[in-house]
Structure 1
Amino acid sequence: MTAGKLLASALVLSALGAGAGMWYAQEYAFYDRLPPQGELAAVAADGAPVSLALRDFQGIDGSSSPIKWRACMTLDPAAAAALPVFDKPTPLIGPGWFSCYDAGRLTADLASGAATARLVQPEMRPDVDRIIAVYPDGRAFGWQQINDKTPERGVMD
């Protein structure tokens, strides 16, 4: 085997290793499953604190980003109606192994009116809101998304 073939093989193997490491980091390394929860703290349309009773909660989160939180749950849709409607929902894609949460389906259902987006808590972290999509049968799916409340910033900020 020539030096050129060895160098090319090392380069290809390094690229494959780096790709596999990147995939693992995006899908698994920075997510943690959340313990079951029986309630979700929220803020009603009038600004009053509200606690939504939950069933069948499944959730994930990660400390590496404020928008990694995803959740699947069942709740009383009448109780969720106290929360303000969120007008620009953008369900964020979760890792493939978190199978109860499907961002593509949520996006389609929110666009068709099959589900309603509600603002659970504004400013969970600076410039990040917690949103849930609620279906009439009580299924609900949550995520955190960056809000547009901060004015455009220049390059030097």
Structure 2
Amino acid sequence: MNGKIVGVVILISALIAGAGLYYLQIYGFYEAVAEEEVTLVSLNTDAPEPILFDSFQAIDADSSPIRYRACFTTTQSLAFLTESYVLIDGPEPRNAPDWFDCFDAAAIGAEITAGTALTFMGAKNVHYGVDRIVAITDDGRGYVWHELNDCGEKAYDGTVVGEECPALPEATQ
């Protein structure tokens, strides 16, 4: 009889812990982000410059520098953007929680692969080793996410960062 009680207590504890972990990962740490500028890195100045945008929605979490996701629309043409801002190849959008329904990583990735969306550098090192990536479709929908850059990948996997990377912040050394 005591074994059954202990087993039930363990099972209930595991279910509560699992439900709590699921909630924290999917809902708990995310917060809506107030409207902020959407920027792209200029070909001329190598600095982020704001672009025209509307219908901005974003979420972020303090628990990780790569949890940022945003959606917006723009009236600026891809032709203008490609002549003015830094294009990047190869980024893949990161999944967003299902409840943030404007950001569908699979659909965005398919548009990038099909060539109906282009990816731009939004800002370099928004956090140490993390760049902001912006994808804009030919019909003006835009998406933003954070991606580890080479320095970030080295810093977070424990390999030697090297001289080409900026100094690590004090808290992570």
Cα displacement (A) at 1:41: 3.2
Would you say the 8 A contact 1:109–1:115 is kept in 2?
yes
1:117 matched residue in structure 2: 119
More helix by share: 2
Would you say the 8 A contact 2:129–2:150 is kept in 1?
yes
Deviations 1:34-76 (A, max 9, x none): 1234x32332122144111210000011112111110000012
Would you say the 8 A contact 2:130–2:152 is kept in 1?
no
Stretches of structure 1 that go unaligned for 5 or more consecutive residues are none
SS of 1:53 mapped into structure 2: coil
SS of 1:116 mapped into structure 2: strand
More strand by share: 1
Amino acid in the other structure paired with 1:43 = V
SS of 2:87 mapped into structure 1: coil
Separation in 2, partners of 1:151, 1:74: 30
Stretches of structure 2 that go unaligned for 5 or more consecutive residues are 161-172
Q: Which stretch shifts more, 75-84 or 63-72?
A: 75-84
TM-score computed with the length of structure 1 as normaliser: 0.88
1:108 matched residue in structure 2: 110
- C-alpha spacing 1:23/1:115, structure 2 compared with 1 (3 Å): same
1:10 matched residue in structure 2: 9
Please give the root-mean-square deviation of Cα atoms over the aligned residues, in Å.
1.9
Separation in 1, partners of 2:141, 2:111: 12
1:91 matched residue in structure 2: 93
Deviations 1:2-57 (A, max 9, x none): 111111111111111111011100111111011234x3233212214411121000
Separation in 2, partners of 1:111, 1:91: 11
Would you say the 8 A contact 2:132–2:144 is kept in 1?
yes
Paired-residue identity, %: 35
Separation in 1, partners of 2:153, 2:29: 30
Cα displacement (A) at 1:77: 3.2
Amino acid in the other structure paired with 2:81 = A
Separation in 2, partners of 1:25, 1:70: 17
